[in-house]
Structure formats: structure tokens, C-alpha cells
Structure 1
Amino acid sequence: MRDKRSRFIELGEARVTKATQMLRLIGNLANSNNYEYSAEDAQKIFTALDAEMKLLKAKFQTALSKRPKDEFKLG
């Protein structure tokens, strides 16, 4: 059985690569020779992506803040 760290690395690399590829595909929508869109349409895309990134960051920050401290002190 793989340890947690190696699973994290394997899945993290695969998922970030996939997400990056999808973001590039979304970026292709900016080509006005192929697509018609308004500034409002673009802003809706940015808002949706920003909201998801905020949720993602919050999940990691919450998980990291729950970790026990490495240092032990009495008093």
C-alpha cells in the first residue's frame, strides 16, 4: 500500500495538470475569430473560477491549521 505522501504527490500532479489543461481550453474561448462573447460573459467565467479557487485555498488552509504544532511547551 502506498503511503499518504506518495498518493498526494501522484494525485496532486495529475489533477493540477488536468486543471491547467482545462484552464488553457477556457482561455481558447477568448479567440474572437472563433467565438462571440461579451465582457459580462468573460467576467462570469472569472467569477466562477475565482470562487472555486477561494474554496480550494480555504480547504488547504483549514486542514493545515488543524495540524498539531511541532513544538511542545509547558507553560
Structure 2
Amino acid sequence: MESKREKFVRLAEARTNKIIKMIELLGNLSDTRTYEYNEDDINKIYNSIFTELNISKDKFDVHLRKKNYVFKLTDGGGIDNNPTRPNKEDEGISS
């Protein structure tokens, strides 16, 4: 049976290669002997791609951050991406 890691690697490689091929095909549209376009067209295309790419990346970041999430009120609060386990004093626990 395929492990979760093996499945991730298999699908990630296939999907990434498919995306790379599609980007190459998109680049073929730059041939002005065959196609006509303007700067606004290109900006719309790439803004859409970058937006979707960032949304996709954020999904991975959220899952990775959850594993390392430690809420702190000190030092500006928010997420500490390199947390250390708090000691009992930090947790307000007294012996």
C-alpha cells in the first residue's frame, strides 16, 4: 500500500511537471508572428497566475504553521514559528 508520503511525492511531481509544461505552452503565445497581445493582456494573465500560486502556497504554509503554533502575548504576540516548550513558570503553573 502506498504511504501518504509516497502518494504526495507521486502526485506533486506529476502535477508540478504538468504546470511547468503549461507555463512553457503559455510562453509560446509570445510569438508575435502568430499572436497579437498587449501589455495589459500579459499583466492580467500573470497577475492571475501569481494570485493562484500564492493562494496555493498559503494552504501549505497554514498547515506547516499549525504544527509549530505557539501563542504569545509577549514580544509582539502572534505566531512563534520556532517555539520552544514553555516551562512551568512561563505557563503560570507554580509547584
**Consecutive aligned runs of 4 or more in structure 1 exceeding 6 Å deviation:** none
TM-score normalised by structure 1 residue count: 0.89
| Cα distance between partner residues in 2 of 1:61 and 1:38 | 35
Larger RCO: Structure 1 or Structure 2 (Cα < 8 Å, ≥ 6 residues apart)? Answer: 2
Aligned positions, number: 74
Superposition CA RMSD, Å:
1.7
Identify the structure with the greater strand proportion: 2
TM-score normalised by structure 2 residue count: 0.71
Unaligned runs of 5+ in 1: none
Whichever of the two has the greater Rg, that structure is: 2
Identify the structure with the greater helix proportion: 1
Q: How do residues 52-71 of structure 1 correspond to structure 2 at under 5 angstroms?
A: 52-67=52-67
Unaligned runs of 5+ in 2: 70-82, 88-95
| Cα distance between partner residues in 2 of 1:74 and 1:68 | 13
| Cα distance between partner residues in 2 of 1:5 and 1:63 | 15
1:2-49, Cα deviation, whole Å (9 max, x unpaired): 110000000000000000000111111111111000110011001100
What is the aligned-residue identity percentage?
A: 35
